[in-house]
Structure 1
Amino acid sequence: MPRRVRTALVAFLATILGVVLVPATAAQAAGENYVALGDSYSSGVGAGPYDLSGCFRSQKSYAPLWAAANAVASFRFAACGGAVTADVIGGQVNSLSSSTTLVTITIGGNDAGFADVITSCRFGSTSSCENAVNQARSFATTTLPGRLDATYAAIRARAPQARLVVLGYPRLFETGWCGWLAMSSYKRTILNGAADLLASVIANRAAAAGATFADPRGDFTGHGVCAADPWIRDVSGVIEAYHPDADGYRYGYLPALNRALS
C-alpha cells in the first residue's frame, strides 16, 4: 500500500474510533528513564555554568537539553569531565538499572590521551605534535577497541533493556588561515585526521555492541577553532580549551542525538 494512502487510512480510522495519535518518538521520549554517561564532552565542559559536583556538569550540555525538551520520566546526569573508560565501568554505570530505557555516552578521547596530544601540538614543535598524534592513533587502533567493548558490555549488563547511543567527537579545527599565533594548518589537519580515525574506531565498536552511533562531525563543520563562528573554544581557558561552547552542544551535539533517536 502506498505510504500516502496508508497514512490517510490510519488517520480516517483514528477519527472514527476517537483515537488521538501521538508520534511514536514523542511517546517514547515522554516515558524515557534517561541516563547520560561519559566524559567532558557529555558533562558540558565549555558551556558553563557548572554544578558543584567537581565533574563540570552544565545544564547547557546536549543531555540535559534533550531531557528537558522531551519531558522524560527521569534523568540522571552521571557524565564527568576527565572520565576514561575505567571511570564509566567502575562508577558511572552505578547510575543505571533495569528500568533505564536510554543511555548516551561519549568516551574514549581521554583514554587516547586527548589532553596530552593537544598540548603537544599547541605548544610543541611539529615533530612533537606528529609523535603525539601517531601514539594516539596507535592506541586508538590497538588498545581502545577492547576498552570500549568492556564499557559497552558493562552498560548492557546494568541496563539490558536500554537503547544505547554512543556519540562521537567533532573535528576541532578549521584548517584555513588563523593568524600568526595559531597552530599551523598542518598540525590542525593531522589532528582532524586523528579525530576521524577515532570516530571510525568508536563507530565500529558501537555497532558491534548493538548501539547507535551519533556522529556530530557534520554538524560542527565550519564551526571549529579558527572559524568565523566557532563552536569550539580555543585556549581561552585551561579547563574549557578545545571543548564545545553552549552553541556547540545545542547546535552540534543535540541535532546528532536527535537524528540517532528519530
Structure 2
Amino acid sequence: MPTFFRRSLSVVATTGTAAAIAIGGGGAAHASSASYVALGDSYSSGVGAGSYTSSSGSCDRSTNAYPYLWDSANAPTSFTDNACSGATTSTVESSQLSGLSSSTTLVSITVGGNDVGFSTVMEDCILEGTSACESAVSSAETEAENDLPAKLDTLYSDIKADAPNAHVVVIGYPEFYDLAESGTCAGLSYDSRSAINGGADTLDSVISTEAAKYSDFSYVDIRSYFSGHEICDSSAWLHSFVLTDTSESYHPTATGQADAYYPAFEAGVAE
C-alpha cells in the first residue's frame, strides 16, 4: 500500500507496535532451479520491515521482506523484485510485468488494497471518528466487490500470458486488530477496528475468488499467520500508526515478514 497520511496530522498517535527487528539469512541457502519474480504493493516490497535497498527508491524494497528472505534461503537461478510501495493493479500492469517471461517459474504477488483506497480509509478512521470510518470502509468494500474483480482478472490473465510456465502465489492481507484485546488497546474504537477487519476480509475474499479461476495460481490466506500477533496483541507483527515514519503505519514489521508472510509464501510454493 502507499505511503500513509500524506496530509498533515494534528491527532495523537495511537499506540505503536513492537519495533521491527533485523532478520538474518535463516541458515545456509539451498539450491533452487526456480526463476522467481516478485510483484505487488508495499506488503510485497516490505514497507515497515526496514533495511530498504537504495536502488529501489520510493518503491521501498526491503531485504527483510519475504521475497528477499526466500531468495536468500533458496538461491534460485534468478530473482527479480519488481514490487513497489503504492502499486495498484494498473501500475503492476504498466511497470512490473516486464520481469516476466516464458522462463519464469515462480511469481509472488499481493495487490488490490490500493485499488480500493485503503490508505484514505485509514486516514478517515484516525482523523474523523467511528461513523466516518465505518462509512469509508463500507465504500471501499463496495468498490472491492464491484470493481476490483475485473481489474484482478485482467492482471492475472496478463501474468499468465507473460509467464505461462510459472506457479503464481497470491497472498492476501491480514486483519489488523485482535478484537478480543481491543478493550486494553488505546486508539480507535472497537467498532472502527471491527469495520477495518471486515474490510480486510472482504478484500481477501475477492482476491481469493479471482485467483481460484486460474490454473497454477495458489492463494494463501495470510490472516491465520498473524493470529495472536495483530495490533492490540502484546507481540504484534503489524505496526499501528507510526508518527516518526507514517509510511510504515499498518504494515508488517520485519518479524511479520519473516514469521508470517515468508512461511505463507513457502506454503504457496509447495502447493
User: TM-score w.r.t. structure 1 length?
Assistant: 0.87
Contact 1:149 1:209 in 2 (8 A): no
Question: Which residue is 2:156 aligned to?
Answer: 152
RMSD: 1.5
- Of structures 1 and 2, the one scoring higher in RCO (CA 8 A, sep 6+) is 2
Question: Residues of 1 paired with 2:35 and 2:186: CA distance?
Answer: 47
What are the equivalent positions in structure 2 for 1:21-100 lying under 5 Å apart? Answer: 30-52=32-54, 53=56, 54-100=58-104
Structure 1: give runs of 5+ residues left out of the alignment. Answer: 1-25
**1:127, 1:157 → 2: CA distance?**
44
Deviation at 1:180, TM superposition (A): 7.2
Q: Is the 8 A contact 2:167 2:269 kept in 1?
A: no
What pairs with 1:99-248 in structure 2 (closer than 5 Å)? 99-175=103-179, 176-177=181-182, 181-210=186-215, 211-236=217-242, 237-248=245-256
**Distance in 2 separating the partners of 1:71 and 1:48:** 22
Contact 2:66 2:257 in 1 (8 A): yes
Bigger Rg, structure 1 or 2: 1
Aligned length: 236
Amino acid at match of 1:199: D
Letter matched to residue 155 of structure 1: I
What is the alpha-carbon distance in structure 1 between the residues aligned to residue 117 and residue 182 of structure 2? 27
CA deviations 1:77-121 (Å, max 9, x no partner) are: 000000000111111001111110000000000001110111111
- Indicate if the aligned counterparts of 1:45 and 1:57 stay in contact, CA closer than 8 A: yes
- Relative to structure 1, is the Cα distance of residues 180 and 70 closer, same or farther in structure 2, using a 3 angstrom cutoff? closer
Give the AA of the match of 2:128.
G
CA drift at 1:177:
3.4
> Structure 2, unaligned stretches of length 5 or more?
1-28
Runs of 4+ in structure 1 off by over 3 angstroms are 177-181
Aligned-partner Cα distance in 2 for 1:204–1:185: 29
